[in-house]
Amino acid sequence: MTSMPESRPYHHGDLRAALLASAERTLRQKGVHALSLRELARASGVSHAAPGRHFKDKQALLNALALAGYARLGQALAAADDPALPLQPRLTALARAYLGFAIDNAELLELMYARKHDPDAEEQMAAAVDRTVGSLVRVFSDAQQHGEIIDGDPDALNLVTGATLHGLAAFAASGAIAPEAALEGVDELVHLLLHGLKPR
């Protein structure tokens, strides 16, 4: 029986995209600790040295994966946003888009937040966070200017909303609540966030 050679020729037209796709599959199935450039090269059918053309090390791969996640989240939020809507339906659409992404990409989202403060990718990551989380902060800021919500630090208001949505996504990921039920509850969740629990 002939053994396979350890190295395989570089044959991908877009190795970077192939490696990121393979990395995300591994992340979903086995977790971040299972990721390695050597294993990704093997899974992609290229030489062990080939990934080094795109990622200097595992940390660079993780940063690229997180940035790709932020790009997808940004697209989902942009597609859901309609600045012409009143705050409640606008925020509901954005919350549903965020929650949908969080439920479908739980492991990736965890990585995105973990890499947010990596000094090796500080500028790129900060810009990615601004395009996603920052877009929600601007929604709150706009609503304040229009007198739709209370004054205060928009970042703090966004933190409450984000923590609520992220907690709901965590419940869905752990099986404590069905993903469909989590998404169906977004309207009521946003209503409670905007109006509170006091009798009206």
Strands (DSSP E) found in 11-62 = none
Q: 4: which DSSP letter? A: P
Could you tell me the domains of the chain?
8-55 (1.10.10), 65-195 (1.10.357.10)
pLDDT in tens, 158-196: 999 999 999 999 999 899 999 999 999 999 999 999 999
Is residue 146 helix, strand or coil? Answer: coil
The identity of residue 163, as a single letter, is: A
User: Which residues of the chain, if any, have pLDDT below 70?
Assistant: 1-13, 52
What does the alpha-carbon distance between residue 140 and residue 200 come to, in Å, rounded to a whole number?
23
Q: Could you tell me the pTM of the whole model?
A: 0.84
pLDDT number for residue 176: 95
For 145, the enclosing helix (H) or strand (E) is helix 122-145
